[in-house]
Amino acid sequence: MEGTISKKDVIVIGGPTASGKTGLSIELAKRINGQIVSADSMQIYKDMDIGTAKVTKEEMQGIKHYMIDIVSPDKRYSVAEFKADAEKAINDIIKNGHVPIVVGGTGLYINSLIYNINYPQLEFDKKYREYLEEQVKKEGLDKLYEQAKRIDEEAISKISPNDQKRILRILEIYNQTGKTKTELEKISREEPLKYNYKVFGINYERSKLYDRINLRVDKMLDQGLIQEVKNIKEKYNEFPTAMQGLGYKEVVQYLENRCTYEEMVEKIKQESRRYAKRQITWFKAIKELIWLKAEDGIEKNIEIILEEIN
């Protein structure tokens, strides 16, 4: 079954980590003359391949991918930058006669597109960031989490109490603009959408998903995740965001003798399962999203997507 798609339709495939987004999106792209825009906040980084389960050249099967390997691990990359770059990629894909397929598990990235949220492109305030990081060391992240909760309860309810990067972001936005992240999002959502987004999410039976996550972590370690982290630490001087990534920070703790190998493995698996749970919660909040059952298989799910977009 082939799909006929209007010029401005953009397919979005989201879902938790290890749910099979890559395989489904590549098969779909082959069927509908599609090209893929990655919406993954870690796959944007160069040299970070194993720990991000980055799609390989072989897996791509000749399908062009955008937004992968575009940033050095020593650079900061904001949601505002992602939105601008992703919309340019979508525009280029449509202009060249292909169908854009946005694929990834970073809810913040996907929301910025499907709701047209213009996150402020703030000038980075190094002093304020250093002050916040010092507070984390002195008093713990819990204190800043509570502070962020008092400022913007709606935004903080969507993130983990351990998510230092996003907790600091809530505080930084308020510090620089005098408005909360939620207020700024509501203002920007009033602008009309540039594209007609058709949003799908892959759902996996929870215990099977967790088994897949555990196996993926074992595979990453077999493929050389520890050596990948060592190589990155040798090559780059600083990591404003990259080394806070899931899988990477735990390996760093192991290399610094702050945990045993067994503790590191269990921590990566546990945090990956927790992350998947948060991703599912995030995608459930997208009212327009159509769920696909992973157990139905790629062929059946492609049929469902094509029926929905025709």
> 234 exposed, middle or buried (CB, 10 Å; 0-12, 13-18, 19+)?
exposed
Residue 75 phi, psi (nearest 5): -110, 150
- In this prediction, residue 121 carries a pLDDT of 66
Which of 43-47, 79-83, 175-179 is the least confident region?
Answer: 175-179
Q: How confident is the model at residue 188 (pLDDT cuts 50, 70, 90)?
A: low
Answer whether residue 76 shows pLDDT above 80: yes
Domains of the chain, first to last = 9-118+191-309 (3.40.50.300), 126-186 (1.10.20.140)
Question: Does the pLDDT value for residue 3 go beyond 80?
Answer: no
Which pLDDT belongs to residue 4?
46
What pLDDT does residue 118 have? 80
Which one has a higher pLDDT value, 180 or 190?
180
Distances (CA, A) of 96 to 7, 13, 70, 90, 114: 11, 21, 21, 10, 22
The structure tokens 């890559």 sit at: 22
Q: With 90 as the cut, is the pLDDT of residue 160 above it?
A: no
In the predicted model, is pLDDT for residue 120 greater than 70? no
More confident residue, 106 or 7: 106
Tokens of 108: 């913040």
Mean pLDDT of the chain: 91
| pTM exceeding 0.85 | no
- The per-residue pLDDT for 194 is 85
